[in-house]
Amino acid sequence: MEAFLALPPERRIELLLPFVNDNRVETLRNVLAKRTRRITIALENIFHSQNASAVVRSCECFGIQDLTVIENSNPFLASNGVARGAFKWLTYHRFGSEEFNTPAAYSDLRQRGYTIVAASPHPGHDISLYDIDVAKGPVAVVFGAEKVGLSRWAMDNADVRMVIPMCGLTESLNISASAAITLSHLRQEVDRKLTPEERMLPEDDRREIFSHWLLASIRDAHNVLTRIL
Protein backbone atom coordinates (compact mmCIF):
# COMPACT_ATOMS: atom_id res chain seq x y z
CA MET A 1 0.00 0.00 0.00
CA GLU A 2 2.81 2.44 0.82
CA ALA A 3 4.37 1.88 -2.59
CA PHE A 4 1.00 2.52 -4.24
CA LEU A 5 0.37 5.73 -2.30
CA ALA A 6 3.86 6.95 -3.17
CA LEU A 7 2.88 7.03 -6.84
CA PRO A 8 1.39 10.20 -8.39
CA PRO A 9 -2.43 10.09 -8.47
CA GLU A 10 -2.44 9.98 -12.28
CA ARG A 11 -0.33 6.81 -12.24
CA ARG A 12 -2.52 5.19 -9.57
CA ILE A 13 -5.60 5.90 -11.68
CA GLU A 14 -3.93 4.48 -14.79
CA LEU A 15 -3.05 1.25 -12.96
CA LEU A 16 -6.48 0.75 -11.38
CA LEU A 17 -8.86 1.68 -14.19
CA PRO A 18 -8.62 -1.74 -15.93
CA PHE A 19 -9.95 -3.41 -12.77
CA VAL A 20 -13.11 -1.28 -12.44
CA ASN A 21 -15.98 -1.58 -14.91
CA ASP A 22 -16.95 1.41 -17.03
CA ASN A 23 -20.33 1.96 -15.38
CA ARG A 24 -18.72 2.14 -11.96
CA VAL A 25 -16.05 4.53 -13.21
CA GLU A 26 -18.71 6.82 -14.67
CA THR A 27 -20.67 6.75 -11.40
CA LEU A 28 -17.57 7.64 -9.39
CA ARG A 29 -16.73 10.53 -11.72
CA ASN A 30 -20.28 11.89 -11.58
CA VAL A 31 -20.42 11.75 -7.79
CA LEU A 32 -16.97 13.26 -7.44
CA ALA A 33 -18.02 16.20 -9.62
CA LYS A 34 -20.64 17.06 -6.98
CA ARG A 35 -18.35 16.75 -3.97
CA THR A 36 -17.64 19.90 -1.96
CA ARG A 37 -15.37 21.10 0.79
CA ARG A 38 -17.27 24.35 1.17
CA ILE A 39 -19.07 22.71 4.11
CA THR A 40 -17.65 20.27 6.62
CA ILE A 41 -18.77 18.67 9.86
CA ALA A 42 -16.77 18.16 13.06
CA LEU A 43 -17.87 15.80 15.82
CA GLU A 44 -16.58 16.29 19.35
CA ASN A 45 -16.55 13.23 21.61
CA ILE A 46 -19.47 11.33 20.06
CA PHE A 47 -19.92 7.97 21.79
CA HIS A 48 -23.06 6.34 20.33
CA SER A 49 -21.99 4.32 17.29
CA GLN A 50 -25.40 4.60 15.61
CA ASN A 51 -25.30 8.39 15.77
CA ALA A 52 -21.72 8.48 14.51
CA SER A 53 -22.66 6.21 11.63
CA ALA A 54 -25.74 8.24 10.74
CA VAL A 55 -23.67 11.44 10.52
CA VAL A 56 -21.13 9.69 8.28
CA ARG A 57 -23.94 8.53 6.03
CA SER A 58 -25.48 12.03 5.88
CA CYS A 59 -22.12 13.56 4.95
CA GLU A 60 -21.72 11.11 2.10
CA CYS A 61 -25.30 11.49 0.88
CA PHE A 62 -25.06 15.30 0.75
CA GLY A 63 -21.68 15.25 -1.01
CA ILE A 64 -19.57 16.46 1.92
CA GLN A 65 -16.05 15.12 1.45
CA ASP A 66 -14.45 15.80 4.85
CA LEU A 67 -15.35 14.82 8.40
CA THR A 68 -13.35 15.95 11.44
CA VAL A 69 -13.44 13.56 14.39
CA ILE A 70 -12.42 14.82 17.85
CA GLU A 71 -11.83 11.98 20.32
CA ASN A 72 -11.34 13.42 23.80
CA SER A 73 -12.65 10.74 26.16
CA ASN A 74 -14.68 8.69 23.66
CA PRO A 75 -13.32 6.78 20.66
CA PHE A 76 -15.19 7.34 17.41
CA LEU A 77 -16.99 4.06 16.80
CA ALA A 78 -19.42 3.60 13.97
CA SER A 79 -21.50 0.77 12.60
CA ASN A 80 -21.00 0.12 8.91
CA GLY A 81 -24.52 -1.29 8.81
CA VAL A 82 -25.98 2.13 9.57
CA ALA A 83 -23.50 4.03 7.40
CA ARG A 84 -24.11 1.63 4.47
CA GLY A 85 -20.50 1.71 3.30
CA ALA A 86 -20.21 5.51 3.44
CA PHE A 87 -16.95 5.31 5.41
CA LYS A 88 -14.71 4.54 2.45
CA TRP A 89 -15.83 7.54 0.41
CA LEU A 90 -14.98 10.29 2.95
CA THR A 91 -11.74 11.97 3.99
CA TYR A 92 -11.25 11.83 7.77
CA HIS A 93 -9.32 14.27 9.95
CA ARG A 94 -8.92 12.56 13.32
CA PHE A 95 -7.71 14.18 16.54
CA GLY A 96 -7.26 11.85 19.49
CA SER A 97 -3.62 11.79 20.55
CA GLU A 98 -3.99 14.22 23.47
CA GLU A 99 -6.21 14.29 26.55
CA PHE A 100 -8.15 17.23 25.07
CA ASN A 101 -8.00 17.47 21.28
CA THR A 102 -10.52 20.18 20.42
CA PRO A 103 -7.94 23.04 20.21
CA ALA A 104 -5.85 21.07 17.69
CA ALA A 105 -8.95 20.31 15.61
CA TYR A 106 -10.03 23.97 15.64
CA SER A 107 -6.53 25.04 14.60
CA ASP A 108 -6.59 22.57 11.70
CA LEU A 109 -10.04 23.73 10.55
CA ARG A 110 -8.94 27.37 10.58
CA GLN A 111 -5.77 26.54 8.66
CA ARG A 112 -8.02 24.95 6.02
CA GLY A 113 -9.97 28.20 5.79
CA TYR A 114 -13.14 27.35 7.74
CA THR A 115 -15.31 29.58 9.87
CA ILE A 116 -16.15 27.46 12.92
CA VAL A 117 -19.83 27.31 13.84
CA ALA A 118 -20.68 25.64 17.16
CA ALA A 119 -24.10 23.97 17.16
CA SER A 120 -26.12 24.39 20.33
CA PRO A 121 -29.58 23.10 21.30
CA HIS A 122 -30.29 26.20 23.37
CA PRO A 123 -32.02 29.28 21.90
CA GLY A 124 -30.51 32.72 22.25
CA HIS A 125 -27.17 32.06 20.57
CA ASP A 126 -25.58 34.17 17.85
CA ILE A 127 -27.44 32.99 14.76
CA SER A 128 -29.97 30.58 13.35
CA LEU A 129 -28.93 27.83 10.95
CA TYR A 130 -30.84 29.73 8.28
CA ASP A 131 -28.69 32.84 8.79
CA ILE A 132 -25.43 31.12 7.76
CA ASP A 133 -24.17 32.61 4.51
CA VAL A 134 -22.07 30.03 2.67
CA ALA A 135 -21.17 32.67 0.06
CA LYS A 136 -18.88 34.33 2.61
CA GLY A 137 -16.56 31.33 2.83
CA PRO A 138 -16.18 27.70 3.92
CA VAL A 139 -18.17 26.67 7.01
CA ALA A 140 -17.41 23.96 9.57
CA VAL A 141 -20.31 23.06 11.87
CA VAL A 142 -19.27 21.37 15.11
CA PHE A 143 -21.61 19.04 17.00
CA GLY A 144 -21.04 17.73 20.52
CA ALA A 145 -21.66 14.55 22.42
CA GLU A 146 -25.12 13.23 23.09
CA LYS A 147 -26.93 14.81 26.08
CA VAL A 148 -24.01 17.04 27.17
CA GLY A 149 -23.37 18.80 23.86
CA LEU A 150 -20.16 20.62 23.06
CA SER A 151 -17.48 21.30 25.64
CA ARG A 152 -17.34 24.80 27.09
CA TRP A 153 -14.02 25.37 25.32
CA ALA A 154 -15.53 24.37 21.97
CA MET A 155 -18.42 26.80 22.47
CA ASP A 156 -16.29 29.70 23.72
CA ASN A 157 -13.67 29.40 20.97
CA ALA A 158 -15.97 29.00 17.98
CA ASP A 159 -16.32 31.93 15.59
CA VAL A 160 -20.09 31.83 15.94
CA ARG A 161 -22.73 29.81 17.81
CA MET A 162 -25.72 28.44 15.95
CA VAL A 163 -29.12 27.04 16.85
CA ILE A 164 -31.62 25.14 14.71
CA PRO A 165 -34.97 26.93 15.18
CA MET A 166 -37.74 24.72 16.57
CA CYS A 167 -41.39 25.27 17.41
CA GLY A 168 -42.21 22.43 19.79
CA LEU A 169 -41.86 21.77 23.50
CA THR A 170 -38.89 19.44 23.07
CA GLU A 171 -35.68 21.44 23.45
CA SER A 172 -33.35 19.58 21.12
CA LEU A 173 -32.97 17.06 18.31
CA ASN A 174 -30.87 13.94 18.23
CA ILE A 175 -27.38 14.74 16.89
CA SER A 176 -27.88 12.63 13.78
CA ALA A 177 -31.11 14.49 12.97
CA SER A 178 -29.46 17.84 13.68
CA ALA A 179 -26.55 17.06 11.38
CA ALA A 180 -28.85 15.85 8.59
CA ILE A 181 -31.03 18.98 8.77
CA THR A 182 -27.95 21.21 8.84
CA LEU A 183 -26.29 19.47 5.90
CA SER A 184 -29.46 19.42 3.83
CA HIS A 185 -29.97 23.16 4.24
CA LEU A 186 -26.35 24.19 3.77
CA ARG A 187 -25.91 21.96 0.74
CA GLN A 188 -28.92 23.60 -0.89
CA GLU A 189 -27.41 27.00 -0.12
CA VAL A 190 -24.06 25.98 -1.63
CA ASP A 191 -25.74 24.79 -4.82
CA ARG A 192 -27.95 27.88 -5.01
CA LYS A 193 -25.43 30.60 -4.23
CA LEU A 194 -22.08 29.36 -5.52
CA THR A 195 -20.75 28.74 -9.00
CA PRO A 196 -19.61 25.19 -9.86
CA GLU A 197 -16.01 26.36 -9.64
CA GLU A 198 -16.56 27.73 -6.13
CA ARG A 199 -18.24 24.61 -4.76
CA MET A 200 -16.33 21.85 -6.56
CA LEU A 201 -13.10 20.29 -5.37
CA PRO A 202 -9.89 21.49 -7.04
CA GLU A 203 -8.68 19.25 -9.86
CA ASP A 204 -5.68 17.96 -7.87
CA ASP A 205 -7.97 16.97 -4.99
CA ARG A 206 -10.36 15.21 -7.37
CA ARG A 207 -7.55 13.13 -8.85
CA GLU A 208 -6.28 12.14 -5.41
CA ILE A 209 -9.74 11.14 -4.16
CA PHE A 210 -10.61 9.38 -7.41
CA SER A 211 -7.56 7.13 -7.06
CA HIS A 212 -8.70 6.12 -3.55
CA TRP A 213 -12.28 5.54 -4.72
CA LEU A 214 -11.08 3.28 -7.52
CA LEU A 215 -9.09 1.23 -5.02
CA ALA A 216 -12.11 1.05 -2.68
CA SER A 217 -14.20 -0.25 -5.59
CA ILE A 218 -11.95 -3.27 -6.19
CA ARG A 219 -13.06 -6.32 -4.24
CA ASP A 220 -9.63 -7.93 -3.81
CA ALA A 221 -7.60 -4.74 -3.77
CA HIS A 222 -4.65 -6.14 -1.82
CA ASN A 223 -3.99 -8.92 -4.33
CA VAL A 224 -4.50 -6.54 -7.23
CA LEU A 225 -1.86 -4.17 -5.83
CA THR A 226 0.52 -7.08 -5.31
CA ARG A 227 0.14 -8.04 -8.96
CA ILE A 228 0.52 -4.60 -10.53
CA LEU A 229 3.28 -3.07 -8.40
CB 2 within 8 A of CB 101: no
148 vs 60: which has the higher pLDDT: 60
Average pLDDT over residues 144-170: 89
pLDDT category at 145 given cuts 50, 70, 90 is: confident
Segment 49-75 shows an average pLDDT of: 93
Confidence of residue 202 (pLDDT cuts 50, 70, 90): very high
**Average pLDDT, integer, range 35-45:** 97
Residue with the larger pLDDT of the pair 101 and 1:
101
Residue 161's pLDDT is what?
95
Q: In angstroms, rounded to a whole number, what is the distance separating the alpha carbons of residues 210 and 200?
A: 14
Band (pLDDT 50/70/90 cuts) for residue 78 is: low
Nearest in space to 190 (alpha carbons), one of 136, 124, 151, 115:
136
Q: Cα torsion at 209, 27, 182, 47 (round to 10°)? A: -60
* Rounded distance between C-alpha atoms, residue 166 and residue 144, angstroms: 19
- pLDDT (tens digit, 9 = 90+) per residue, 1-11? 888 999 999 99
**What's the pTM value of the predicted model, to 2 decimals?**
0.92
What's the rounded mean pLDDT across residues 50-66? 94
pLDDT of residue 120: 86
Paired residues of 128 in beta bridges: 163
Report the mean per-residue pLDDT for the chain. Answer: 92
By CB atoms closer than 10 A (0-12, 13-18, 19+), residue 12 is buried
**Do residues 28 and 210 touch, judged by C-beta distance below 8 A?**
yes
C-beta of residue 189 within 8 angstroms of C-beta of residue 181: no
What was the pLDDT predicted at 82? 52
Average pLDDT over residues 100-116: 98
Which pLDDT score is estimated for 79?
A: 57
pLDDT given at position 74: 79
Alpha carbon distance 218, 127 (integer Å): 45
Residue 1's SS3 state is coil
